[in-house]
Chain A
Amino acid sequence: MSKPEIVERYIRMAQAAGTDVECVSGAELPGRLAELLGAVNKPPEIAALAASGWPEGLRETVEAVLVSSGFEVTMPRKEQGGYSWDRDRLAAASVGIVWCERYLADTGSLVLASGPGMGGLATLLPEISIVLSDAKGCLEDLADFFRQMEGAPPSRITLVTGPSRTGDIEATMTKGVHGPGKVAHFLLL
């Protein structure tokens, strides 16, 4: 499959799994992001932001949108031993934003690989998870991801497919049980 085709397939599968996917250009992103933030939250609130992994300059752009939308930003702080979150602020955050390097067309899954400052917990604790990627990051499936992986696996690889959900009470599907009830994926095309 060609790249545009597998990206299309990703979008179909991710939406079927409950992820909101939006294709935007770099120029459109700040506006669309601000729109989404305005719609889902009443500031002042806290947003948890990944410190690393971003393409050149993008983190600063996102941070500026967050601040101008009235959010306080918390990021993993770099100290001597490495990165660490301010636990209380992370726990209080209502939105989390990270860069996601790879995602899978086959199942509509995001692939979050661990690394210093990558901010994985920002996609788990807040009610709303916002994830940014580019078209390059789309892969066929998990097997493809493993094939491209160089050397040993990172300490954790998390596949996220749609929001957190449960069917434990009378098999009634309910979103947002432990993790985010909303996952928004912006594809920079």
Chain B
Amino acid sequence: MKSSHNFRKASASAVADEVLGAAVGKTADLLFSMRAAAVAAYPGFEELRDWGRSRKMEVSGDLATFVRRFSDRLEAAGGAAHFARDAREAVEIVTNIARGLGAVAAVKSKSMTAEEISLNEALPEAGVTVTETDLGEFIIQLAGEKPSHIVAPAIHKDRAQVAALFHETLGSAPGLDVGDLVRVARKALRERFLAADIGITGANFAIAETGTIAIVTNEGNGRLTSALPAVQIAIVGIDKIIPKLSDLPGFLRLLTRSATGQAVSSYVTVITGPRRQGEEEGPSELHVVLLDNGRSPLASGPFREMLHCLHCGACLNSCPVYRAVGGHAYESVYPGPMGDVLSPLLWGMDVYADLPDACTLCGRCAEVCPMRIPLPEYHRKLRVLRAGLKGEAAAWKAEAPAILTQHPLLYRTALGIMRRVLSLGRRLPDGIRTGLPGAWTVCRELPHPREGPDFRSWWEKRKSCHE
């Protein structure tokens, strides 16, 4: 992870990149409107959101018990459960398994959790080459870049860029269209699937009751990764746990509609242990690495509901800031509103100090979040928390707006003073006027209060006419 992240600086260059802006805008718009249509077509969706939240509350309220139950049931089904307190431990577990097998090639289906522990960087050191098999991730890997969206990782690239990349790295003809590019990728990736010793997956859900994991993809790469290689390793954040198998249908409805606006994705693979006696499909060894990496402490803190995140990406698609800058400027595995909150919580306030500012508090994310996570509220809380770390005065500054809006008299008095100061400011020379408030005026004008009475006194007069 970055040791000194600077969102302002990183986003400035992203905003200037026109290809990026157009590509991110196009996909985010499409996903946003598909979600809206899918939700509108499902009358019980609001109740379903409440239900999903309450099921996740049950898990986050007793996380350790659910983790234990999941691993017990997984082992009973013949799988191996591993606990990783942090990224380093998780990587160690995976590389040890790989070394033990003498593995040389792994295929991987999309997993933000694997991304979180930087598994792709560690495996080559253990002598294992890893191939990303989700088309978007494959493109990113060939380009030597990082994903920029948790659901559509190559959202920032247009088709011409992909055609040029495949031409350079896979030797395909130049200038191919989307259909041909997909054929090229299918052929290249199929060979890797058949040759792989290990399949590395994430999981969208881990079901405590049965020790089951569920993997959702449209491409089918999750299914291939978990079905062809002799050994499967699933990297699963402990936040992915849901209580029962009977909860899965409801959560699938919430996830796929929110992520891509589909009633269901093309493939949902529900895996309970390795292949059984006599079967010809699936791995003969199934390892599940349960990753904590800063999650357990969240369960008892003020950001508990962040553990309920389904990683659907709906908040990204709805976010005006994400849409303007794309994912890379966040310099984190988790971009957009969910990342603004999660990154500082998982990797430290000092590392991602300014991400809670990458938010206009417009509230669109909370409107679309299937789990009703209070994302704007969490952004605000993080700002207050950060200010508290800086000292009393700064903390008070961050709390001031909340205090003001809760006390009408105080609010009115403060507003009156501001009006006077601002109208005075208008008469000041330009340099002083824009220089005084500092950073605030770098991209904004100071507001000019209109001449004449303010709204309140105007309304007082009006009101008496109506009565």
Contact = CB atoms under 8 A, between A and B. Distances in A.
Interface string A148-166: 0000111111111111111
A146 B246 CA distance: 7
A158 B190 CA distance: 20
B345 interface: no
Interface of A: 13, 17, 76, 81-85, 87, 91, 106-109, 114-121, 124-125, 141-143, 146-147, 152-172, 174, 176-179
Given A81-B278, A165-B266, A166-B135, 11 more contacts: A109-B264, A116-B277, A116-B279, A125-B224, A146-B249, A152-B77, A156-B281, A166-B218, A170-B159, A177-B221, A179-B224
Contacts of B77: 152, 155
B277 A82 contact: yes
B68 interface: no
A116 B278 contact: yes
B270 A163 contact: no
Given A124-B223, A124-B227, A169-B159, A114 B264 contact: no
A172 B263 contact: no
Nearest to A145: B249
Interface string B119-137: 0000000000000011110
A142 B252 contact: yes
B194 A87 contact: yes
B249 A116 contact: no
Contacts of B219: 164-166, 168, 177-179
B27 A171 contact: yes
Interface residues of B, number: 65
Interface string B100-141: 000000000000000000000000000000000111100100
Contacts of A107: 263-264
A176 B249 CA distance: 26
Contacts of B278: 81-83, 116-117
B194 A156 contact: no
B23 interface: yes
A109 B249 CA distance: 13
Nearest to B207: A153
Contacts of A162: 266
A178 B264 contact: no
Contacts of B277: 81-82, 116
B179 interface: yes
Contacts of A176: 182, 186
22 contacts: A76-B280, A83-B280, A107-B264, A115-B279, A125-B224, A142-B248, A152-B272, A153-B270, A156-B269, A159-B269, A164-B218, A164-B219, A167-B152, A168-B135, A168-B154, A169-B159, A170-B23, A170-B159, A171-B31, A171-B152, A172-B159, A174-B182
Contacts of B178: 169-170, 172, 174
A158 B269 contact: yes
Interface in B129-183: 133-136, 139, 152-154, 157-159, 162, 178-179, 181-182
B30 interface: yes
Contacts of A179: 219-220, 223-224, 266-267
Given A142-B248, A162-B266, A171-B27, A153 B272 contact: yes
Given A161-B265, A162-B266, A178 B224 contact: yes
Is the contact region of chain A dominated by helix, strand, or loop, or is it mixed? loop
B299 interface: no
A153 B77 CA distance: 10
B210 interface: yes
Contacts of A153: 210, 212, 245, 270, 272
A50 to B, nearest CB: 10
Contacts of A17: 263-264, 266
B302 to A, nearest CB: 35
A13 to B, nearest CB: 7
A41 to B, nearest CB: 17
Contacts of A159: 264, 267-270
Contact of B162 (A114, A154, A161, A169): A169
Interface string B274-295: 1111111110000000000000
B181 A169 contact: yes
A116 B30 CA distance: 42
Contacts of A76: 280
A167 B157 CA distance: 12
A152 B210 contact: yes
A155 B136 CA distance: 29
A117 B154 contact: no
Contacts of A166: 135-136, 182, 218-219
B246 A143 contact: yes
Nearest first, the 9 closest Cβ-Cβ pairs linking A and B are: A82-B278, A179-B220, A116-B278, A168-B136, A164-B220, A159-B268, A83-B280, A168-B135, A107-B264
Contacts of B193: 178
A171 B135 contact: no
B273 interface: yes
Contacts of A82: 277-280
Nearest to B152: A168
B181 A141 contact: no
Nearest to A51: B280
B270 A157 contact: yes
A142 B26 CA distance: 33
B275 A114 contact: yes
A118 B282 CA distance: 12
B185 interface: yes
